[in-house]
Amino acid sequence: MADRAGRAGSTRGDTLQALSEELRHADNPKLLEITHMIDLLPERGAADLLLAPVRNRLAGLRPPRQVTRVRLLFMPFDPVLVAAGHWKPGDLAIPRSIIRPLSALVLDEAPSVAIPAADEADEAALTRAGRPIWDAVAVRLANFVIPESWGTTAWQSAHGLTVPLVGQLIAVIRLVLSRAAEIRSLPPQSDPASDPAMSALLSDAARTGPLGWGIMLALLLDASAPDRVAAAALALARGNRFAAVLHAGLDTAASDALDRMKTVIDDPVPPDLLDPSSLEARLALIRRVEAFGRLAHRSPVEQRRVSGLRQALSAANRLAFEHTLRARLPGAETTASELTSSARIGTLEAGARHLRRFAQAASRLGDGEQYERLLQEAASRYAGADPSFTTADRMRLTELLIGSDKAARAFGIA
């Protein structure tokens, strides 16, 4: 019987692995369709394991997902939520298995809020809706008594989620919820004005212990400029009697952040650079890799990791540009009749701006000459998209991609 159970578990694991790999290679429309189906499940269970490898891509795609009170409550923890089967004690993460039981015990006392519709749920709307819930639950958790049954379930016993460890997680959850709006308001790019807020957040986290310190660092590294987060953490550790613990937490949080970035970079499906959300996500990734390159405390091992990520991202960026050039530019999947309207010209101009922005950012990692060549190719594709385009239309598209001087020379004006 034990052998049969073992084989059944192995078969189930193999099936999940195969499905997860298939999902990882799914194109964006298919991925969004499957994600919507999973969102409708009453119990997610193994579905969280399936989504784990593609969560970073989903974050970039920003699909319109149903917003619920439970999702609002745990939204501040998105970067550190992991599938139950991928979590172990000591991780700077929160297992998703804690979401439903904790929500069932604390959300009943949280105020009613207007839940934004899925297609209206931008960051500002989510923060406005979530803040009353975060504040109320943070107060509720100050006197929270953990049910004894939480330490005796099969999953918790198997993974070491003891009642004391649950207590530590809840202390961290309370801290983050009480400061969630501040974390979400931090600027994503380097801004010295944000340093006092970061220092205050980290100081409070350090008082909760290594787990709170590490998870707060992970959230800040995801929300804001990594180099400024690290500088604030190092300043706090300087002269602190627990400096070794604080340094270790920073090293682990930075390593975890690099792992998450590598998952995005290694995604086999290149981003669509003509899609605004995908473009912004890739530009943010470029900035983050650059910021990690500026960390002052990096060890030789971490320096090599960042250098390797930089090279991998550079290669992935070229692939994304070439994929967009082949699959999405005029002449690939469009017809001449679709390209003659003024609305279509406007769409092409927007696409040209996207590609130029991306090429300028990606060139900072190297390969500037290759991007000049690719932009020239894109300009030729755009300008020759349809013979009915006026010379002014074609020159405007060319200017957007390669600049006015090169466009003028291309049209024999200079």
Q: Are residues 57 and 111 in the same domain?
A: no
Q: Are residues 121 and 77 in the same domain?
A: yes
Within a domain: 293: yes
For residue 359 the two structure tokens come to 């090429």
Q: What is the pLDDT of residue 6?
A: 47
Q: Are residues 76 and 123 in the same domain?
A: yes
Q: Are residues 283 and 398 in the same domain?
A: yes
Q: What is the secondary structure of 1-22 as a DSSP string?
A: -HHHHHHHHHHHHHHHHHHHHH
Within a domain: 259: no
Q: What is the pLDDT of residue 204?
A: 95
Give the residue from 202, 224, 252 where a domain finishes.
252
Q: Are residues 386 and 275 in the same domain?
A: yes
What sign results for the dihedral spanned by CA atoms 318, 321, 325, 327? positive
Q: Are residues 117 and 238 in the same domain?
A: no
**Which amino acid is residue 185, in one-letter code?**
S
Q: Are residues 247 and 197 in the same domain?
A: yes
Look at residues 256, 189, 265, 259 and name the one whose alpha carbon lies nearest to residue 219: 256
Q: What is the pLDDT of residue 339?
A: 45
pLDDT in tens, the chain (414 residues): 445 444 444 554 565 566 677 777 777 777 777 777 776 666 665 666 677 777 767 766 666 667 889 999 999 999 999 887 788 888 999 988 888 889 988 998 888 888 877 666 688 888 999 999 999 999 999 988 888 777 556 556 656 677 788 889 999 999 999 999 999 999 887 777 778 899 999 999 999 999 999 999 999 999 998 988 999 999 999 988 889 999 999 999 999 999 989 988 998 888 889 888 889 989 999 999 999 988 756 678 788 899 999 999 999 999 999 988 888 765 444 444 444 456 677 888 888 999 999 999 999 998 889 999 999 988 888 777 666 778 888 888 889 999 988 888 888 786
Q: What is the secondary structure of 292-360 as a DSSP string?
A: HHT-TT--HHHHHHHHHHHHHHHHHHHHHHHHHHHHTSTTTS--GGGGSSHHHHHHHHHHHHHHHHHHH
Q: What is the pLDDT of residue 282?
A: 94
H or E element at residue 81: strand 81-82
For residue 102 the two structure tokens come to 């904790």
The whole domain housing 357 covers 268-413
Q: Are residues 277 and 408 in the same domain?
A: yes
Within a domain: 260: no
Within a domain: 389: yes
| pLDDT tens profile 180-208 | 999 999 988 777 777 889 999 999 999 99
Q: What is the pLDDT of residue 1?
A: 46
Q: Are residues 229 and 309 in the same domain?
A: no
Q: Are residues 312 and 406 in the same domain?
A: yes
Q: What is the distance between the alpha carbons of residues 28 and 31, in angstroms, rounded to a whole number? A: 5
Residue 307 dihedral angles phi and psi, to the nearest 5°: -60, -40
- Does residue 159 contact residue 88 with C-beta atoms inside 8 Å? yes
Q: Are residues 314 and 392 in the same domain?
A: yes
Q: What is the pLDDT of residue 334?
A: 46
- Does residue 161 contact residue 155 with C-beta atoms inside 8 Å? yes
Helix (H, G, I), strand (E, B) or coil at 240: coil
**Which amino acid is residue 89, in one-letter code?**
P
Give the residue from 28, 48, 63 where a domain finishes.
63
- Does residue 233 contact residue 217 with C-beta atoms inside 8 Å? yes
When divided into structural domains, the chain yields a total of 4
- Does residue 134 contact residue 103 with C-beta atoms inside 8 Å? no
Within a domain: 6: no
Within a domain: 257: no
Three-state SS string over 364-409 comes to HHCCHHHHHHHHHHHHHHHHCCCCCCCHHHHHHHHHHHHCHHHHHH
Q: What is the secondary structure of 258-306 as a DSSP string?
A: HHHHHHHHT-SS---TTSHHHHHHHHHHHHHHHHHHT-TT--HHHHHHH
Q: Are residues 407 and 272 in the same domain?
A: yes
Within a domain: 258: no
Cβ atoms within 10 Å, residue 157:
11
Within a domain: 176: yes
Q: What is the pLDDT of residue 331?
A: 44
Give the residue from 206, 228, 252 where a domain finishes.
252
Residue 298 dihedral angles phi and psi, to the nearest 5°: -60, 135
